[in-house]
Amino acid sequence: MATNIKPKTIFTGDNLPIMRGINSESIDLIYLDPPFNSKANYAAPIGSVAAGAEFKDTWTLDDVDNAWLDLIETKYSALNRVIHAALTNSDKSYLIYMATRLLEMKRILKDTGSIYLHCDPTMSHYLKLIMDAVFGKANFRNEVIWRKYGGHKNTARRKFTTENDVILFYSVGKTYNFNPVYRPLSEQTIKSEYKHIDENGRRYSIPRGRRYRQGIVKRVYLDTHPGVAIGNLWHEKELTMQGRDDERTGYPTQKPLALLDRIIKVSSNEGDVVLDPFCGCATTCVAADRLQRNWIGIDISGKAAELVVERIKADQGLFQEIVARTDIPKRTDLGDIPRYNAPQNRTRLYGEQEGYCNGCGEHFQMRNLEVDHIIAETNGGTDHIGNLQLLCSHCNRVKGDRGQEYLISRLNKD
């Protein structure tokens, strides 16, 4: 499906309604580095490029729009069970927040797409269950252990210092892009295994069992060896922020470009669309731009939009046409569907609801019922029939742009 978002677009706003406005199956790769539920609130130091950027990472049930929970309870039972496995309300609300967004990410990824969820051991064990429920256990590819500090950091007194983050890598289906990364053979391997040198000075080895009769010997040349395919332990110092002062924006939780460079190279090709829905100081956008990928970034903080322009200009030194938006995009993949209040929608919904208001449950004549968006248009809800219901005018007024659960809880109170 063609994307309805111009390449190199940065959105400022909550990523949920924005993703709801993105066409289905239009994204090749998603990297997300959401708040980790760390119980901390982050702010960039005053005076740094990122000053003014801050985000909250403490969670209570008040943060959860009940419409999200309603959606999960009614449509996604496995996901619902996983969420209810959380032991505290804070964890539960964080998981609901994440699950609703991950469902949208699954919808907008192509069936050949991949997703990397960056988290840390605070919630990685719960998030893996959520990812299994959303993307399917069979599509789990790796748990990447990323060493986040270049040197030794001794921050914990009565436990071991946590030196890693966790990146959960899933594909949408069985067929997906994977360009392996190799690192050169070690000096030691070269010396011990590639110890022969031919008349042209090329090093080679003679693998065991490869001496054939009549003295023919099989040679494996070092310069034809791709190197060692890297595994899931990403411990190289070059992948950390240490010694990367030229890159630092001061944005709290900034990730190194080299880390994103690796992920993007492995799981996408030139011209593919890469999305980062929690893009912070736009590291993914900058790395994707360098690699000639199309990118879309979203962040709730307006600082991200400023930084992406600054960073890309500084990086490439060229004028780049970057689109900065604050509106909610409109999907173009739903075909020509009628407007929400079209007569055929009313008639169909009246039949499905057997004439009852979906709020108070009172019976009404059709002319006394109004068509309501279950998820409001301002939150990215569409005119699709699955997002519509009939409410009496009283219930419709009470609900406004809020979720269905709000209406129900208000009616229960009255």
Ligand X SMILES: C[S@@+](CC[C@H](N)C(=O)[O-])C[C@H]1O[C@@H](n2cnc3c(N)ncnc32)[C@H](O)[C@@H]1O
Could you list the residues that contact ligand X (CB under 6 A)? 14-15, 33-35, 55, 251, 253-255, 278, 280-281, 283, 298-301
Helix (H) or strand (E) holding 393: helix 393-399
Query: What is d(CA 405, CA 411) in angstroms, rounded to the nearest whole number?
Result: 10
Q: Kindly state the smallest distance separating residue 309's Cβ from ligand X, in Å.
A: 15
Residue 295, phi then psi, degrees to nearest 5 = -135, 155
Is residue 230 classed exposed, middle or buried when 0-12, 13-18 and 19+ CB atoms within 10 A define those classes?
middle
Based on CB atoms, which residue is closest to ligand X, 33 or 370? 33
Based on CB atoms, which residue is closest to ligand X, 296 or 407? 296
Q: Kindly state the smallest distance separating residue 140's Cβ from ligand X, in Å.
A: 22
Q: Kindly state the smallest distance separating residue 351's Cβ from ligand X, in Å.
A: 37
Q: Which residues pair with 41 in a beta bridge?
A: 56
Based on CB atoms, which residue is closest to ligand X, 21 or 34? 34
The residue with its CB nearest to ligand X is: 280
Is residue 268 classed exposed, middle or buried when 0-12, 13-18 and 19+ CB atoms within 10 A define those classes?
buried
Beta strands in 60-108 (DSSP E): none
Query: What is d(CA 212, CA 203) in angstroms, rounded to the nearest whole number?
Result: 20
Based on CB atoms, which residue is closest to ligand X, 82 or 259? 259
Q: Kindly state the smallest distance separating residue 13's Cβ from ligand X, in Å.
A: 7
Give the SS3 label for residue 141. Answer: strand
Q: Kindly state the smallest distance separating residue 147's Cβ from ligand X, in Å.
A: 16
Residue whose entry in the numeric block shows the structure tokens 């395919």: 229
> How many Cα atoms occupy the beta-carbon half-sphere of 159 within 13 Å?
3
Based on CB atoms, which residue is closest to ligand X, 63 or 111? 63
Q: Kindly state the smallest distance separating residue 349's Cβ from ligand X, in Å.
A: 31
Based on CB atoms, which residue is closest to ligand X, 23 or 301? 301
Q: Kindly state the smallest distance separating residue 289's Cβ from ligand X, in Å.
A: 14
Query: What is d(CA 380, CA 387) in angstroms, rounded to the nearest whole number?
Result: 11
Based on CB atoms, which residue is closest to ligand X, 104 or 299? 299
CA-nearest of 392, 334, 328, 331 to 363 is: 392
